[in-house]
Structure 1
């Protein structure tokens, strides 16, 4: 862990001042128009290898990486944000410490406080009781209901300035994969374990936010497994597809899903919602089975937030528009840059602004993202303004 040096603080403050005159700036970071709410998602790479490590790092004052993540959030200033890959502990200590960490301004950006926080258990590191990877053991990270070295690794948290309707929050951590009609599970590959496997590699959450005008916005949050790191059975690719498809069914009012409290069914037809998170699927490129994602994009209407940095990023050209990319992954031996992070509002909302925080080279804020995740995260924060 590297503590934040004072010289780096001064450099960031200077960059913040210069950005007011920088040509080709990252995006329009002005506040939302009156009456709009800014909703964001960020795979912030706040997972560590050992339980309690993230909380200890935050207690000691943070690191350069944590400071960069915090400043990105402070620059964009979302009203509501889903953090993917923040380690979950039973008392939610790490998430609460990170919320406090955001209150102190970084690099010249003003601090931001979120009075409302939700985090909950996820499937990563939770033992399945089966040898899912066939290595003769049942205690490895690939034998868990979701890949993880410990329970709660790669967790999630929602931070919000408007209040959350905590009594109406629904979680689907224990939803069985086999219960999904027409699922793509490779049943023969999993054998006896198949009926017990959970759909979510982390969890699926419906978190209602009460807006200032009294209306409710349902945050439909998840982080499906990457569609790689498996064999010809394509278990991860199939699971990714079905994790994304869950939201298509849920938002369409399907009745097959049952939440962790035992309540069945999806959203009512008049509910306003936004699907958000690192979905690990690109609509045009990469290894994902794209059918569910394309159905979700059609259901919501795709605003396709963009960035100048993504548009100018090096690497082989792909089918999709590079300006919409949200992940900065290596080209040699990797998938290259892809669009995998989404904020997808239902069509009842008017989108008044959107963007991806990916400054181009020459922008004073470029060092907040670095190259390939070496400064903050290999993902980019994505936001949409809704009215």
Structure 2
């Protein structure tokens, strides 16, 4: 039986847990105020969303400062988008990690739980965040510039530890003790990997971590069922030299989930940060969430990178779309005119001249046979309500769009 602690700050949650003789995981928050609302009998209608909200800052601690008074215009726009879409479970990419968990609490209390421009507040009594590899020094000269202390020499590109982190918010209980993280998994341990050993040299190549941020398997309890939220944010397949180290890493970060969903030998190499080996059981329900930085047809991805998931027998792709994305591709032109993919499926408004143009990089991929009710990308056309929140460069909220899928899950 899970013990719940008050949803206030991490310090108070830890104090309450200590008094009860219960341990909470380091660098993670999972607070609860009440049981999830809106019981629906045998089935739960569950809205799952992913949003690269660009809540990253150039300096460590700056996001905390921006969150404290509740008036930052970009953060307010992000919160309003979330309030409009009202997901039950949400992954935020590019939310700077802080060890105390204060940033997650401030975002909920100062922004999400305050109605933005007349929108209804949203409340998430459960949250999970944990350390990521971005900005964590490797002590190695990974980019061959003669130094070992730059942002490109971290285990994942970043100016400080935790930059471009991740957060999961949920109305449903997060089974914190069952969470699996894969921050420390070595790239070289993946069989038949694309690691450019010639570029790094065998000694450095053997130490490199696979995940540029982290990969998380976060189980969420929905009634009597468990839904595994598989969250990640692979490195962009760009900013490369001829060795294509970022393209290769992006491909293999995506492949980690493809292997994780494949029972037996294919997933046996995977070891989580607690030392447990293997992948996800064949009968488990899941949804893959995140900015995966890979378009199936356009952009700079290694060939077949995202197809590893889109064509996986356990995964269904509902192809969420929007009229705003189609409009953006047509009006912006540039690299978009050379794309072969359906512009309605784009989820990010990237530079059009030079490339890559707008791309589909953000995904909500439920497992089979979960029943999908609806899916969409939140990208209003010009003049429609909400279009002022997406806008054009410099973007009011983010250059990415929120992607959501509505599911029927047995309760």
User: In structure 2, what is the Cα distance between the partners aligned to 1:354 and 1:208?
Assistant: 22
Secondary structure of 1:98's partner? helix
Aligned length: 356
Q: Return the match for 1:355 from 359, 364, 376.
A: 376
Structure 1 partner of 2:75: 66
Q: Note if contact 2:134-2:212 (Cα within 8 Å) is conserved in structure 1.
A: yes
User: In structure 1, what is the Cα distance between the partners aligned to 2:393 and 2:325?
Assistant: 12
2:49 equivalent to 1:40: yes
Structure 2 partner of 1:28: none
Alpha-carbon displacement from aligned partner over 1:19-50 (angstroms, at most 9, x marks no partner) = xxxxxxxxxxxx9x973200000000000011
Q: How does 1:1-387 map to 2 (within 5 A)?
A: 35-100=44-109, 101-191=111-201, 192-212=203-223, 214-253=224-263, 254-299=267-312, 300-313=315-328, 314=331, 315=333, 316-317=336-337, 318-372=339-393, 374-387=395-408
Structure 1 residue runs of 5 or longer lacking an equivalent are 1-30
Structure 2 residue runs of 5 or longer lacking an equivalent are 1-37
Q: Note if contact 1:164-1:210 (Cα within 8 Å) is conserved in structure 2.
A: yes
User: In structure 1, what is the Cα distance between the partners aligned to 2:108 and 2:207?
Assistant: 35
User: In structure 1, what is the Cα distance between the partners aligned to 2:85 and 2:135?
Assistant: 32
Structure 1 partner of 2:23: none
Higher relative contact order (CA 8 A, sep 6+): 1
User: In structure 1, what is the Cα distance between the partners aligned to 2:303 and 2:309?
Assistant: 10
Q: Note if contact 2:232-2:291 (Cα within 8 Å) is conserved in structure 1.
A: yes
User: In structure 1, what is the Cα distance between the partners aligned to 2:343 and 2:304?
Assistant: 21
Offset of 1:157 from its aligned partner? 0.3
Secondary structure of 1:207's partner? strand
User: In structure 2, what is the Cα distance between the partners aligned to 1:368 and 1:290?
Assistant: 34
User: In structure 2, what is the Cα distance between the partners aligned to 1:77 and 1:335?
Assistant: 31
User: In structure 1, what is the Cα distance between the partners aligned to 2:369 and 2:105?
Assistant: 33
Secondary structure of 1:292's partner? coil
Secondary structure of 2:91's partner? strand
User: In structure 2, what is the Cα distance between the partners aligned to 1:87 and 1:138?
Assistant: 23
| TM-score for both structures, normalised by structure 2 | 0.85
Q: 1:251 to 1:373 in 2, by over 3 A?
A: farther
Deviating above 3 A after TM superposition, structure 1's stretches of 4 or more consecutive aligned residues are: none
User: In structure 2, what is the Cα distance between the partners aligned to 1:230 and 1:92?
Assistant: 33
Offset of 1:373 from its aligned partner? 5.1
Q: Note if contact 1:278-1:341 (Cα within 8 Å) is conserved in structure 2.
A: yes
Alpha-carbon displacement from aligned partner over 1:63-86 (angstroms, at most 9, x marks no partner) = 111111000000000000000000
Alpha-carbon displacement from aligned partner over 1:114-169 (angstroms, at most 9, x marks no partner) = 00000000000111111111111110000000000000000000000010111100
Secondary structure of 1:67's partner? helix
Alpha-carbon displacement from aligned partner over 1:285-318 (angstroms, at most 9, x marks no partner) = 0010142311211121210001110011122332
Alpha-carbon displacement from aligned partner over 1:165-202 (angstroms, at most 9, x marks no partner) = 11100000000000001100001101121000000000
Secondary structure of 1:291's partner? coil
User: In structure 2, what is the Cα distance between the partners aligned to 1:177 and 1:261?
Assistant: 17
Secondary structure of 2:204's partner? helix
Kindly report the root-mean-square deviation, in angstroms, between the aligned alpha carbons of the 2 structures. Answer: 1.4
Alpha-carbon displacement from aligned partner over 1:312-367 (angstroms, at most 9, x marks no partner) = 11223321111110000111123110000000001120100110000001102100
| TM-score for both structures, normalised by structure 1 | 0.90
Q: Note if contact 1:258-1:265 (Cα within 8 Å) is conserved in structure 2.
A: yes
